[in-house]
Amino acid sequence: MTDAAGLKRRLRVMIALNVASLAIAAAAVVGYVAGHVAALGPVFVAAIAAGVASQIWFIVAFARAGGGKTPSVKA
């Protein structure tokens, strides 16, 4: 698998994980606020942490593939 294909796959996985994390976090907030279910507070925090972790996972792969390199400019 080429770097571009691997990054494209990781991007899709990251987007899917972020959408799922958003849905879980939104449901947890509604249940916490409207339903007064205190146990959903940690669920919200875990969902946000999972979304951030998936973004870090993608950024690390992007950096390892050399995507973060910028060409040097000589004045």
Range of the domain at 41: 3-64
Global pTM value: 0.79
Q: Which residue has the higher pLDDT, 29 or 2?
A: 29
d(CA 40, CA 25): 9
pLDDT tens sequence across 44-60: 999 999 999 999 999 99
Q: Is the pLDDT of residue 38 over 70?
A: yes
So what's the pLDDT on residue 23? 98
Rounded alpha-carbon distances, angstroms, from residue 63 to 17, 29, 48, 57, 60: 20, 34, 23, 10, 5
- 69 and 25 Cβ atoms separated by less than 8 Å: no
Number of domains within the chain: 1
The reply to whether 73 falls in a domain is: no
For residue 58, being part of any structural domain is answered with yes
